């Protein structure tokens, strides 16, 4: 019997296998979420300044159908913005805030959210 292994992208099947932890920032530039990981621990900022500590969840055709979990692991502030949206984002503030998202047809959809609030203005 011949077995052929073809390279491809990992697809999250509901069991997280890889975790990436980010460092909070006081910069106004966005930090990109690395789609090669399943779970993302956001670095939190204690500054009350609007427009800092922003994470970008970009769409990528190579990761169509991809599910990711984004969570806060400390109290503070972090914003998660999505590619293709002019306004609106998720704001994480408590150490227990968590959201699960899935990319479908080039758009990220929030499938499950516990604690993260939806802001209707841009940072």
Contacts of 39 (CB under 8 A, 6+ apart): 16, 18, 19, 20, 68, 69, 70, 71
Kindly state the average pLDDT of the residues 82-102. Answer: 83
* Predicted local distance difference test score (pLDDT) of residue 119: 78
Contacts of 116 (CB under 8 A, 6+ apart): 70, 72, 80, 90, 91, 92, 93, 97, 98, 99
Q: What total number of domains does the chain contain?
A: 1
The DSSP letter of residue 123 is: -
- Arithmetic mean of pLDDT over the chain: 83
Residue 92 lies in a domain: yes
- In the block, residue with structure tokens 């427009």: 51
Residue 4 lies in a domain: no
* Predicted local distance difference test score (pLDDT) of residue 83: 75
Residue 6 lies in a domain: no
Residue 112 lies in a domain: yes
- In the block, residue with structure tokens 């306004």: 87
Confidence of residue 33 (pLDDT cuts 50, 70, 90): very high
Residue 106: phi, psi to the nearest 5? 75, 15
Number of H helices, E strands in the chain: 0, 10
What CATH number is given to the structural domain containing 91? Answer: 2.60.120
What is the domain range of residue 30? 19-119
The pTM of the whole model exceeds 0.85? no
């Amino acid at each position: 019997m011949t077995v052929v292994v073809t390279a491809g992208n990992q697809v999250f099947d509901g069991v997280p296998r890889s975790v990436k932890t980010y460092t909070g920032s006081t910069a106004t530039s966005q930090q990109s979420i690395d789609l090669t990981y399943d779970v993302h621990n956001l670095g939190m900022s204690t500054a009350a300044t609007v427009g800092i500590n922003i994470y970008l969840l970009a769409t990528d055709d190579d990761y169509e159908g991809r599910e990711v979990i984004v969570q806060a692991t400390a109290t503070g502030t972090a914003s998660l913005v999505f590619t293709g949206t002019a306004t609106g984002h998720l704001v994480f503030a408590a150490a227990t805030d968590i959201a699960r998202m899935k990319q479908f047809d080039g758009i990220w959809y929030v499938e499950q959210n516990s604690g993260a609030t939806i802001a209707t203005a841009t940072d």
